[in-house]
Amino acid sequence: MDATTSETAALQFHSIPDQSVSTIVTSATSTFPQSKRHCFGESDPGEFPLAANPSIVLHVLTACNLDPQDLAKLEATCSFFRQPANFAPDYELSISELAALDMCRKRAIFKPMTPEQHEAMKQRCGGSWKLVLRFLVAGESCCRREKSMAIAGPGHSIAVTSKGAVYSFGSNSSGQLGHGTTEEQSPPRLIRSLQGIRIIQAAAGGGRTMLISDAGHVYAFGKDSFGEAEYGAQGAQVVTTPKLVESLKDIFVVQAAIGNFFTAVLSREGTVYTFSWGTDSRLGHHTEPNDLEPRPLKGALENIPVVQIAAGYCYLLALACHPSGMSVYSVGCGLGGKLGHGSRTDEKHPRLIEQFQLLNLQPVVVAAGAWHAAVVGRDGRVCTWGWGRYGCLGHGNEDCESSPKVVEALINVKAVHVATGDYTTFVVSDDGDVYSFGCGESASLGHNVVLPEEEGNRQPHVLKPELVRSLKQISERVVQISLTNSIYWNAHTFALTESGKLYAFGAGDKGQLGVELANQTERGNPELVDIDLN
């Protein structure tokens, strides 16, 4: 198929300089003067008349599962792809737009929405189905929606199978395992009261758990408050089995994040809601500590869809989907520089972290540890910032960084995933290698260093990223790392492989590793958990 901009051979759209989808979408048609129209079959005999067979082209574009940016580049290189296709269901849409709409319809989150909700999402994303598709794909990618996952909470663990069943194990003092008791549990145990409900997301905090179903419903158990008081107080009672959160029943929720003092949820439309921690309007609203009503996050994110949220000790990060590209906003406590704005001041409303634009980095995954944060860029670079204690930022020192800084030791690694905890960080590369750095206590970094007897079990801190060789030895690609990001418990870590196998290491004193440890409180080497997440 020839391009329409010249008499030369067809252009290769993948060689066009990288541009945002909106930039290409809004390019003026007049930029591409028409001299030959091979796509329409009006040139040499034998040319395939694409205009006469739009369904074939549409099928090919949809079946290839093209990236939204590639669809936009097709429009930029050939007039056939940007002119109205005169094809159902919308005769005014181009073939590229129809292909994007078709791929949106395949998404589980998009399917149950009404036509009015579809149109509202389109306008919220920037007025193009290609932008809607980018929003949906970005959310699936960074949050593992519809896939198996494991959550290493503070003292307890949650594992979700690819079919939506949920297992829990570990500490259960507040009923946070959801089995109807407050008894500790070592082997993974199925939450049977959720039978018939498919869970797609989970979040674990200090003494509480939240689960999200494929229907957008939220179930919570453990502490009955969505926001702890500042001195560790909890609600008047505990909930020991999953209970539907009534205040969220009219919001289709796709993700939850539990921080200290507050909880946040994300709707399928990309709106962020927060519970509690409203004293002094810390999150842009004033509420009581135990308020059970969700409040939409006001300010800069009101009209910008968010694809992922991450909560730290007293702050929240939001990965937003601008028409011009991806960006990160932060709100809350700025202690240690963890909000990323070049200062240590608090922010009561979401504020754009501008440093990524200066670094020419498009964020695709964001992680919030207790006191520091990290981002993976589309090009595989990793940035960290915040409190650098024990080397958790990976820059070779323990200095704080109040703005995102590229981890130079990983410059030759293409990262796809990052996880942060209490002064610890893990990075997963595109080939499944895992790197970790930061606090070595609880053996949660996975390096299993053998120390002289006089030093006991105290593990050294790691100031720069080091390959986790113990995970390399399992000879299987790691796709997700989850680690404890609370300051109250010894940390443990999960590594989930491509085939659904779960490996655990670190602190196991409460049974959070899935086994009862004999004569020890932690495990340095990753060992297989007796559970199949596929």
The answer to whether residues 82 and 182 belong to one domain is no
Arithmetic mean of pLDDT, 335-347: 95
Residue 206: band (very low, low, confident or very high) from pLDDT cuts 50, 70, 90: confident
The answer to whether residues 458 and 500 belong to one domain is yes
The answer to whether residues 185 and 111 belong to one domain is no
How far is it, in rounded angstroms, from Cα 513 to Cα 21?
44
How far is it, in rounded angstroms, from Cα 503 to Cα 496?
6
With contact defined as beta carbons under 8 Å apart, do 195 and 525 qualify? Answer: no
Residue 91: band (very low, low, confident or very high) from pLDDT cuts 50, 70, 90: confident
How far is it, in rounded angstroms, from Cα 282 to Cα 259?
13
Residue 35: band (very low, low, confident or very high) from pLDDT cuts 50, 70, 90: very low
Give the range of the structural domain holding residue 517, as residue numbers without chain letter: 143-226+236-528
CATH number of the CATH domain containing 222: 2.130.10.30
How far is it, in rounded angstroms, from Cα 379 to Cα 15?
16
Arithmetic mean of pLDDT, 483-501: 87
Final residue of a structural domain among 141, 176, 208 = 141
The answer to whether residues 426 and 479 belong to one domain is yes
pLDDT score recorded for residue 54: 72
The answer to whether residues 149 and 133 belong to one domain is no
How far is it, in rounded angstroms, from Cα 27 to Cα 19?
11
pLDDT score recorded for residue 226: 76
Render pLDDT for 354-408 as a digit per residue (tens, 0 to 9).
Answer: 999 999 999 999 999 999 999 999 999 999 999 999 999 999 999 999 999 999 9
The pTM of the whole model exceeds 0.85: yes
Domain count, the chain: 2
Final residue of a structural domain among 118, 141, 164 = 141
The answer to whether residues 184 and 249 belong to one domain is yes
pLDDT score recorded for residue 415: 98
pLDDT greater than 60 at residue 484: yes
Final residue of a structural domain among 121, 141, 161 = 141
pLDDT score recorded for residue 512: 96
- Judged by average pLDDT, the poorest of 128-142, 214-228, 242-256 is 214-228
Map tokens 């990160």 to a residue: 328
The answer to whether residues 297 and 195 belong to one domain is yes
The strand order across the sheet containing 166-170 reads 149-152, 156-160, 166-170, 185-190
The answer to whether residues 512 and 466 belong to one domain is yes
